[in-house]
Amino acid sequence: MNDFAGFNLDARLRRAISESGYEEPTPIQTAAIPVALSGADVVGTAQTGTGKTAAFVLPILQRLLGEHATAPHHARYHRVLIVTPTRELAEQINDTIKVLAGHTRIRSATIYGGVSAAPQERALREGVEILVACPGRLLDHIDAGLCKLDHIEVLVLDEADRMFDMGFLPQVRRILSHVPRKRQTMLFSATFPREVEELASQTLYKPQRIAVGRVQPASTVTHSLWPVPQHLKADLLTALLRKTDAFSMLVFTRTKHRAERLARVLTKEGFKTTSLHSDRSQNQRQSALKGFKEGKFQVMVATDIAARGLDVESISHVINFDIPDTVDAYIHRIGRTGRAQREGDAFTLVTPEDDEMVRDIERTLKQRIPREALTGFDYTASAPPKQSQPHQPHGQQPHGRAQARGPAPVGAHAPARSDDRHPAKATPDSQQAPKEQPTQQKQPQQSPQQQPVQAQHDRQQPRQRPLQRRPGQGQKQPGASHEAPQTAQPTDQSRGPHRHRPGRPAFKGVRHRRR
Q: Mean per-residue pLDDT for 123-129? A: 90
> Are the C-beta atoms of 348 and 204 separated by less than 8 Å?
no
Neighbours of 270 (CB within 10 A): 11
Question: Quick one: 159 and 129 in the same domain?
Answer: yes
Question: Quick one: 19 and 88 in the same domain?
Answer: yes
Question: Pick from 181, 212, 243: which residue ends a domain?
Answer: 212
Alpha helices in 166-214 (DSSP H): 169-176, 194-203
Note whether residue 454 is domain-resident. Answer: no
Return the pLDDT at 46: 73
Q: Mean per-residue pLDDT for 329-341? A: 73
Return the pLDDT at 301: 94
Neighbours of 362 (CB within 10 A): 15
Confidence band of 413 (pLDDT split at 50, 70, 90): very low
Confidence check: pLDDT of 451 > 70: no
Q: What are 29-46's pLDDT values in tens digits?
A: 999 999 999 999 999 887
Question: Quick one: 246 and 163 in the same domain?
Answer: no
Question: Quick one: 197 and 262 in the same domain?
Answer: no
End-to-end CA distance of the chain: 114
Note whether residue 484 is domain-resident. Answer: no
Question: Quick one: 254 and 170 in the same domain?
Answer: no
Q: For residue 274, what are the β-bridge partners?
A: 300
Confidence check: pLDDT of 484 > 90: no
Q: For residue 297, what are the β-bridge partners?
A: none
The percentage of the chain sitting over the pLDDT mark of 70, rounded to a whole number, equals: 68
Task: Name which residue leads in pLDDT, 107 or 338.
Answer: 107
Q: Mean per-residue pLDDT for 434-438? A: 47
Confidence band of 69 (pLDDT split at 50, 70, 90): very low
Return the pLDDT at 169: 85
Q: Give the H or E element holding residue 139.
A: helix 135-143
Return the pLDDT at 50: 73
Q: Mean per-residue pLDDT for 103-130? A: 92
Rounded Cα–Cα distance for residues 511 and 515 (Å): 13
Question: Quick one: 189 and 255 in the same domain?
Answer: no
Task: Name which residue leads in pLDDT, 461 or 60.
Answer: 60
Question: Quick one: 234 and 205 in the same domain?
Answer: no
Confidence check: pLDDT of 155 > 70: yes
**In this predicted structure, which of 25-29, 220-224, 341-345 has the lowest mean pLDDT?**
341-345
Question: Quick one: 192 and 227 in the same domain?
Answer: no
Return the pLDDT at 5: 83
Q: Which of 108, 79, 104 is nearest to 93 (CA)?
A: 108
> What letter would DSSP give residue 424?
G
Question: Quick one: 160 and 281 in the same domain?
Answer: no
Confidence check: pLDDT of 481 > 80: no
Confidence band of 341 (pLDDT split at 50, 70, 90): low
Return the pLDDT at 77: 84
Note whether residue 394 is domain-resident. Answer: no
Alpha carbons within 13 A on the beta-carbon side of 185: 20
> What letter would DSSP give residue 304?
G
Note whether residue 413 is domain-resident. Answer: no
Return the pLDDT at 3: 77
Return the pLDDT at 42: 93
**In this predicted structure, which of 135-149, 305-319, 370-384, 494-508 has the lowest mean pLDDT?**
494-508
Question: Pick from 336, 365, 394: which residue ends a domain?
Answer: 365
Confidence check: pLDDT of 338 > 80: no
Question: Quick one: 195 and 281 in the same domain?
Answer: no
Return the pLDDT at 343: 76
Note whether residue 411 is domain-resident. Answer: no
Note whether residue 241 is domain-resident. Answer: yes
Full residue range of the structural domain in which residue 47 is found:
4-212
Confidence check: pLDDT of 434 > 60: no
> Are the C-beta atoms of 302 and 252 separated by less than 8 Å?
yes
The CATH number for 140's domain is 3.40.50.300
Question: Pick from 333, 365, 397: which residue ends a domain?
Answer: 365
Rounded Cα–Cα distance for residues 276 and 250 (Å): 10
Provide the number of structural domains found in the chain: 2
Question: Quick one: 338 and 313 in the same domain?
Answer: yes
**In this predicted structure, which of 106-110, 114-118, 334-338, 483-487 has the lowest mean pLDDT?**
483-487
Return the pLDDT at 386: 65
Q: Mean per-residue pLDDT for 231-260? A: 90
Return the pLDDT at 316: 84
pTM equals 0.58
Confidence check: pLDDT of 475 > 70: no
Q: What are 184-231's pLDDT values in tens digits?
A: 999 988 777 777 788 888 899 999 988 876 556 666 788 999 999 999
Task: Name which residue leads in pLDDT, 419 or 209.
Answer: 209
Return the pLDDT at 76: 67
Exposure string of 417-426, with b = 16+ CB inside 10 Å and e = fewer, is eeeeeeeeee
Note whether residue 20 is domain-resident. Answer: yes
Mean pLDDT, the chain, as a whole number?
Answer: 77
Q: Which of 138, 194, 192, 188 is nearest to 159 (CA)?
A: 188
Return the pLDDT at 49: 66
Collapsing DSSP states into helix, strand and coil, what is residue 442? coil
Q: Mean per-residue pLDDT for 482-492? A: 49
Most confident of 235-244, 274-283, 420-429: 235-244
Question: Quick one: 20 and 100 in the same domain?
Answer: yes
Note whether residue 168 is domain-resident. Answer: yes
Confidence band of 408 (pLDDT split at 50, 70, 90): very low
**In this predicted structure, which of 122-136, 310-324, 359-373 has the lowest mean pLDDT?**
310-324
Return the pLDDT at 266: 94
Confidence check: pLDDT of 433 > 50: no
